[in-house]
Structure 1
Amino acid sequence: MSGPEPRPWRSLLFVPGARPDRFEKAASAGADLVCIDLEDAVAPGGKDEARRATLDFLARYEGEATVGLRVNAVGSDVGAADLEALKGATGVRFVMVPKPTGTGELDAVAAAYDAPMLIPVMETARAIQTAGAIADHPAVVAGVYGAIDLAADIGCTLDWEAQLYARSACALAFGAARKVLFDVPYLDVKDPEGLKAETRRAKTLGIHARAAIHPAQLGPIHEALAPTPDEVARAQRIVDAFEAAEGGVALLDGKMIELPVIKSARRVLALAAPRA
């Protein structure tokens, strides 16, 4: 158990596929992932144009950001056109898959996309019911909890209590798979305090990342997810005590340090590590 934990993803910024003038700005905004959205953010008549602009941008993009795209629903005509275009595409770092009902849609995208890194959006009742299988899919690298479409699918509200079961089920599934789950974007761009409060609330469930719809939301998200100075100090003491034991029994303040505690401490230090 030597060496630092990799720094986990904390934020994913959506940018409309119909706004190629915003692609470069979004890529430099400071999000850990950037997703160009070909689904919800593009009107039906603009799908072909948005797809061409997106794939052209990704093919020539040379920046350091991890940029991918969200395709349209697998099984739809426009989704089929997206998958056909992906077969010859370059520079696509990941593909977000909307409205999966199981692993079949993931298999279809992975078959079309040469370097599978898939991010399913958990926004259907069937996706919640099969969350474990979706999270365990070998091409899946992360997930997004999609409260808004889920509410429309089953007729529930967006209230915290109404979403608690599904949100927790996804947190458990992706946590068990050791993959990141991004919480649903916070819709009120002008309410950073509300964004931080809700992000911290989701963090208590084990959701340590969040999607955003505007660059201004990235700072509040990162702030809400960052460990406190006291948490960082304690985590460092735990790791130091473990390493000083050199394989023997590690003690801190007279108490034995168990391996799950070490793992949690390393996660805290990874979250607190400076980022380029």
Structure 2
Amino acid sequence: MSASPTPTSHPRDVLLGAQAGAVVLPVCDHYSGVEARMKKSLALQAEMAEEFGACVFDVTLDCEDGAPVGGEAEHAQLVTELALAAAPAMRVGVRVHPVDHAAFEADIATIAGRAGRRLSHLMVPKVESVADVAQAAKALDAAGAGDLPLHVLIESPLAVHRAFDIAAHPRVQSLSFGLMDFVSAHAGAIPADGMGALGQFTHPLVVRAKLAIASAAHAHGKVPSHCVVTEFSNALALRAAAKRAADEFGYTRMWSIHPSQIRPILEAFAPDEGRIDLATRIVDAAIRQNWAPVSIDGTLHDRASYRHFWQVLERAHATGRPLPAEAQAWFDAPKH
């Protein structure tokens, strides 16, 4: 029989401490901006939530790339209605226009003003500084959506330089890397293949930016979200990129721009069965020993490794992976 944690000995409380209430975001953030595709994305989200028993990816409705020039207000109304119509358990966000765009204030007033309590997050693109974050937070406050988490898109060399300061802002929940704009911001100094599935992991400037953003996010307890793979018909390239983002670059979330990318991202970011079983054994042993060090298969484990393996189980739960009964009981236990 497995150990049953009491409210004061639950892994999330003992191992994460002050971070125990921190949000664990779905590992996939799916973007769509055309009306038909937005509706299909929301329908797929509901279908997969029923399949997995949880909402396993976010849908972010896109105003920046989705709204036609001159039709920004109408598009903002559309995404608001779609967000309001989504089932309560579904996670729906919106990407608005940048803070210096003429439509930004209207986007916030319409979308956050009407659907702010329904949204999971608001994505602000082309954030260059903490001042941009503060402007977005002020606009949300004015719209009555002061509790809505901000996700920000880092898309330039200067923004990468300021990533740690941006990540430190208390309203920021996640940092995303905008690969395409980052490469184009270098005036041709980075070749076009730096935007590709392979080149983005080999060009030194792109690699440096990815690592800086991931490090900034983790330094402040925020979620680093990896950039797109534009070769959406190349399943092998997508799987390889997602696996590298998760295993080598420290990202815990990734963008999808086509429905076919969602399941490979979930698979790449999910722990495999062996890691889940090992994590369950170690955390269970830790509870039995009241969090004192233990030896498992000849390897010493203490609070540091307990924390790591608990986070493995959190990732498994967030990706809809089957858990051993004892591990599932830890997630079924009420939070205190």
Q: TM-score, normalised by structure 1?
A: 0.91
Is the partner of 1:238 in helix, strand or coil? helix
Which of 58, 72, 87 is the aligned partner of 1:47?
A: 72
Q: How many Å separate the matches in 1 of 2:169 and 2:225?
A: 17
Q: What letter corresponds to residue 109 of structure 1 in structure 2? A: A
Partner of 2:11: 3
Gap runs ≥5 in structure 2: 1-8, 13-19, 46-55, 322-336
Unaligned runs of 5+ residues in structure 1 are: none
Distance across 2 between alignment mates of 1:8 and 1:259? 24
- Tell me the distance in 2 between the aligned counterparts of 1:228 and 1:266: 14
Q: Secondary structure at the match of 2:100?
A: coil
Partner of 2:31: 14
Q: Please tell me whether the aligned partners of residues 86 and 112 of structure 1 are also in contact (alpha carbons under 8 angstroms).
A: no
Q: 1:243 aligns with which of 269, 273, 287?
A: 287
Q: Distance in 2 between matches of 1:25 and 1:36?
A: 11
Note the 1:137-152 alignment, pairs <5 A.
137-152=169-184
C-alpha distance in structure 2 between counterparts of 1:77 and 1:213, whole Å: 26
| Matched positions, count | 274
Alignment-mate amino acid for residue 126 of structure 1: L
How large is the RMSD of aligned CA atoms in angstroms? Answer: 2.1
Deviation string 1:49-90 (CA, Å, 9 cap, x unpaired) is: 211111222234334211111111112212233234346322
The CA deviation at 1:233 is: 2.2
Pick the aligned partner of 1:161 from 168, 180, 202: 202
- 8 A contact 2:64–2:95 mirrored in 1: yes
Q: Trace 1:122-133 onto structure 2 (pairs within 5 A).
A: 122-133=154-165
Deviations 1:139-175 (A, max 9, x none): 1111211111111112323222221000000111111
- Give the whole-Å Cα distance in 2 for the aligned partners of 1:217 and 1:254: 39
Q: Distance in 1 between matches of 2:274 and 2:43?
A: 31
Give me the whole-angstrom Cα distance separating, in 2, the residues matched to 1:96 and 1:247.
Answer: 39
The counterpart of 1:24, out of the listed 13, 26, 39, is 39
Counterpart of 2:84, as a letter, is A
Distance 1:180 1:7 in 2: 8
Cα separation, partners in 2 of 1:86 and 1:54, compared to 1, 3 Å: closer
**SS class of match (1:169):** helix
Taking structure 1 as reference, are residues 272 and 60 closer, same or farther at Cα in structure 2, changes over 3 Å only? closer
Q: Deviations over 1:173-218 (max 9, x none)?
A: 1112222211111111211111110111111111121110111111
How far apart, in 2, do the equivalents of 1:227 and 1:62 lie?
A: 28
Cα distance in 1, alignment partners of residues 278 and 156 from structure 2 = 40
Residue 265 of structure 1 is matched in structure 2 by 309
Matched residue, 2:254: 210
- Structure 1 residues 161 and 78: alpha-carbon distance in aligned structure 2, compared to 1, 3 A threshold: same
Equivalent position SS for 2:255: strand
SS across alignment from 1:205? coil
What are the equivalent positions in structure 2 for 1:37-116 lying under 5 Å apart? 37-86=62-111, 88-90=113-115, 91-113=118-140, 114=145, 115-116=147-148
Q: Distance in 2 between matches of 1:63 and 1:27?
A: 12
TM-score with structure 2 length normalisation? 0.75
Shift in alpha-carbon separation, 1:93–1:258, aligned structure 2, 3 A: same
- Percent same amino acid at aligned positions? 24
Residue type at the aligned position of 2:32: V
